[in-house]
Structure formats: C-alpha cells, structure tokens
Structure 1
Amino acid sequence: MKVRHYTIAITLLIAMVFQIIPVPVQLDLYRPDWVLIVLSYWVMALPHRANVGVAFTSGLALDILLGTAMGVHSFALSISIYVLAANYQRLRNYSVWQQAVIIGVISALYHSLLFWILRLLTDVTFRFEELWPVLTSMALWPWIFWLLRKVRRQLRIT
C-alpha cells in the first residue's frame, strides 16, 4: 500500500478535520473553507484525479459532519469546483496571488450558493459576517498551495 495513491483522500480528510475542529465562537466566523481550498488545489494540479465527483462526495461528507441537510454542501461544492475545473488550464498560468483572488471569488460563490440553498430550506437571513471565510481562504491559499505542491512533488503524484 503506497501512501501516494491515497494522498488526495488523506489531505481531504485533514481538511475536513480542520473544518469541524472546535474553535472559540469569535474565531468561528473567520474559519476558512478548508475543504474548498484543498479541493481547489487538487482540481487545478491533477484534474484527472480530483473532479466534480470528488467534490460531490466530499460535500456529502461535510453535510454529515456539519449536520446540515443532505446535499447542501455537496451541491455548493460541486458547482464551485465545476467553475474552477472548467477554467483550470487558464488558472494554472496565473501567479499564486492572482489565484488567491480567484479562490476568493470561488469561495464567495460557494457561500452564496450555501445561503440560497439554506434560504430555500429554512428561514436564514443574510449577514455580511458570513463572508469572512472568503478573506481567510484567500489569505491561506498561497501557503496551502505551496504545502500541497511540495507534498505532490515529494511523493511524485501524477
């Protein structure tokens, strides 16, 4: 059993742990979209191994872990990753800082979709505080990008 065959799954599991790890209420508003960031990296780096199907199953796992209605996160993740996957060849050529802005846009799309789906299902109201994860995801992107690229190169994942 080689670790490199399961690296994408392992990094997604670690991202899910970071997504649900308890933090103080004041910091929870700023929690980045760990699963979205990690999925975004793998979709841009290895689109033949990480795709919308992986996003859908990761979203179902997030729905279970977070206790939301089944399909809410999976739909939002699938649409967000689809937009990213459709443009991955162009996005790969951007600098890491330009990619961070794109990740911010994708994260904003993700949160907008989550809001509208939850709005249809429940009686939630929109608060601008819900968009803080967009900024923290943008800020974390360069470091997550470099870390995952180092892992991918060391393990020679293709």
Structure 2
Amino acid sequence: MMDRNRIMIIWITLLIGLCLQIIPWSPSYSIFKPHILILIFSYWLIALPHRVGIGTAFVFGIIMDLCTGSILGIHAFIYSFIAYLLVFKFQLIRNLALWQQSFIIFGVSVCYNLLVFLFQICIYHTITISSLIFISSCIDGLLWIAIYLFLRLIRRSFAID
C-alpha cells in the first residue's frame, strides 16, 4: 500500500506538470513559456527510470495531444523519443553537476522544439520558427535547477525510490 502511494506522488507531479503545460499564455509571451511537463518527466526519468519510463511518456504525450488538439501521436512520439534519450544515459546524467545537467536539459528542450517544428512542416506545410525559439530552451535550462531541487525534496520527504 505504501508503494502505491509513492507512485501516486509521481503521477500527481506529472499531472500538475500537464496542467501547467496546457495553460494558455498570451501570444506575445508564448515564446517564453517553459516546457514544465518535459522538465518534470526529465527529473523522474533520470532519478527513477524504473518507475517512470517510455510508456509513461507515451501516455502523457497522448493526453497532451488530446488537450492541445494536435494530431494524435505527435507529442506521444516526441515525449517517447525524449524519454528514450534520457533513459539511455540516465546514469551519466545523474552523476553530472546540476549546472551540467542544465545544459543537457537545454539540449533536450531544443530537441523538443525542433521535432515539433519538423512535424509542423511535414503535416501542416507551414514554417513557424524563429531564432526566439531558443529563449524557451534557455528558460528550461535555468528552470531545471529549481525543478530538480523541488522534486528531489518531494522524493526524499516521501521516501520515493
């Protein structure tokens, strides 16, 4: 029973991240919007890859597709791909300093933005990219430190392992 409650804490943090991710921002500030769900997924994938994996990322990607109204499977593929990249090298990433992990998360965020861009080109035949796309990735890299420390505090206080 205790193990189930610990897993529920992980799912609650992911659901909160999903809710924060689908909150609409004004168009002038949307370039600054961080990818909160990806940051929370990244933490759990690096910290506990045996609890949160590619399948969980796929499920939340489908939910994200349903909430945003995009074509079903786009976010599921992107989240699964990012989860694969992080799980593949989770021990290396886990042993890096926090500022080095921040650069890895910056790269993951750039990967997310580029994959969304490629799907927009392939499906909608529109090009909507600017050099400002790296601003949200920089914000993700900086926000990683706060999210990492906060989720580590939650993980330790609830003894999630």
TM-score by length of 2: 0.93
Residues 74-125 of structure 1 show CA distances to partners (whole Å, capped at 9, x for unaligned) of 1111111111110000111101110010000011111111111221111221
Distance of 2:82 and 2:54 partners within structure 1: 9
Which ranges of structure 1 fall in alignment gaps of 5 or more residues?
none
Partner in structure 1 of residue 43 of structure 2: 41
Question: Which secondary structure state, in structure 2, belongs to the residue aligned with residue 29 of structure 1?
Answer: helix
The corresponding residue for 1:129 is 132
Q: What are the within-5 Å matches in structure 2 for residues 53-64 of structure 1?
A: 53-64=55-66
The secondary structure found in structure 2 opposite 1:55 is helix
Distance 1:128 1:62 in 2: 25
Q: Is there any run of 5+ residues in structure 2 with no aligned partner, and where? A: none
Q: What amino acid sits opposite 1:130 in the alignment?
A: I
**1:24-39 alignment to 2 at 5 Å?**
24-39=26-41
What is the identity, as a one-letter code, of the residue corresponding to 2:103? V
Distance in 2 between residues matched to 1:32 and 1:124, nearest whole Å? 23
8 Å contact kept, 1:72–1:118? no
Instruction: Map Cα deviations across residues 6-62 of structure 1 (whole Å, 9 max, x no partner).
Output: 011111110111111133322221111111100000000000011111111111111
Match of 1:145 in 2: 148
Are the equivalent residues in 1 in contact too, given 2:32–2:135 (CA < 8 A)?
Answer: yes
Letter in 2 for 1:82: Y
Alignment of 1:155 with 2:158, yes or no, is yes
**TM-score of the pair, normalised by structure 1:** 0.95
1 CA distance for matches of 2:135 and 2:62? 23
CA distance in 1, matches of 2:9, 2:115: 28
Q: Which residue pairs with 1:111 in the alignment?
A: 113
Alpha-carbon distance between aligned partners in 2 of 1:131 and 1:66, rounded to the nearest angstrom:
22
* Aligned-pair identity (%): 34
- Report the secondary structure of 1:144's partner residue: helix
Shift, 1:132, TM fit: 2.3
What letter corresponds to residue 14 of structure 1 in structure 2?
Answer: I
State the distance in 2 between where 1:57 and 1:132 align. 28
CA distance in 2, matches of 1:121, 1:5: 36
